[in-house]
Homo-oligomer: A and B are copies of this chain.
């Protein structure tokens, strides 16, 4: 399944990760820990045109971002990374459990030299009872993975050139989406592209869409989605009327952080070519913006959407105009 310009890992052997799981009622207490599955995936790190690098699930299929990898809490993922490039590189995950050999950092000599193949093991776990009537959290989250070895010991070169992707760990009972999108704010680019070449994500009205947003690089950003909002918690939804979570439509997206949420495409607002963008004005003005095309429920184009797309493609993301709009330049006042 093509999602966000990348092949989801579900298309390459992880399909069962998206099959519905047994629901569980919070009122019934925690179930016995599930016996997790162990899945194997081979990922190819490849050089791409434009001085980019990507991860892919088959030779010649690397993309930026790489494939979305998925697990249920309790699962183990054995990632065999094939380095087809002439650079030192690795794969380092957030959120999951790994021993030092799978850390993906030069600190632990955990990387692939040029041409090398190496297996990294990522485990996960469910929440567990702790002292004091509390629980140690499980692994569920909208996490991510990235290189930690190209260019510097922190993978600055690999991350800058596209070696990153989404890693989703679900809790049993979580609602599964119809569509998944990955948005990476990486220095002044989105998925290493600038408007109008940024991804146009598409869904039909009412489809359940899962966004994973990831920050990289050395700049600060805020992710804004027009006409949709979500709870700032683990799922983007509320657990009930007493759930105190903030509801937001704009969130800090800084290097190494990630978050995710589900929305119903066009819920309460209708179909249309909605914008997503960095809300830092100097960033949106110079190209950190893209479109979320919500089609009609039958997949047809809604009125006005093509015109908006055409405007976007003619968009003058013009640094000079952006600079002129700053406070100390002159606007002819009314």
- Using a CB–CB cutoff of 8 Å, the interface residues on chain A facing chain B are 23, 25-26, 29-30, 46-47, 51, 53, 83-87, 94-95, 97-101, 103, 105-109, 114, 123, 125, 127, 130-141, 150-157, 159-161, 173-175, 187, 215-218, 220, 222, 224, 226-227, 229-235, 237-252, 254-259, 264, 267-270, 272-275, 277, 279-285, 289, 304-305, 307-308, 311-312, 315-316, 318, 321-322, 324-327, 330-334
> How far is it, in angstroms, between the C-alpha of A220 and the C-alpha of B97 when the chains are bound?
28
Q: Can you add 4 more A-B contacts, CB < 8 Å, to A137-B229, A137-B245?
A: A46-B334, A130-B237, A218-B280, A233-B246
Contact status of A334 and B241, CB under 8 A, knowing A252-B254, A273-B100 = no
Q: Which 4 A-B pairs have the closest CB atoms?
A: A256-B279, A85-B334, A151-B325, A233-B244
Q: Which chain B residues lie closer than 8 Å to A217 at the CB level? A: 280-281
- CB within 8 Å for A105 and B275 given contacts A94-B249, A241-B127: yes
A85 touches B333 (CB 8 A): yes
Question: In whole angstroms, how far apart are the Cα atoms of A245 and B85 in the complex?
Answer: 40
With a cutoff of 8 Å between Cβ atoms, the chain B residues found around residue A161 in the complex are: 327, 331
Assess whether B280 is in contact with A254, with CB atoms less than 8 Å apart: yes
**Does the CB pair B241–A255 fall under 8 Å?**
no
Q: What are some 30 contacts across the A-B interface (CB < 8 A)?
A: A26-B240, A47-B333, A51-B327, A51-B331, A53-B333, A95-B229, A100-B305, A103-B226, A107-B312, A114-B334, A127-B238, A127-B241, A131-B175, A132-B175, A134-B235, A136-B238, A138-B247, A151-B325, A152-B281, A152-B318, A155-B281, A156-B284, A157-B324, A160-B327, A218-B282, A233-B245, A239-B244, A243-B244, A251-B257, A255-B279
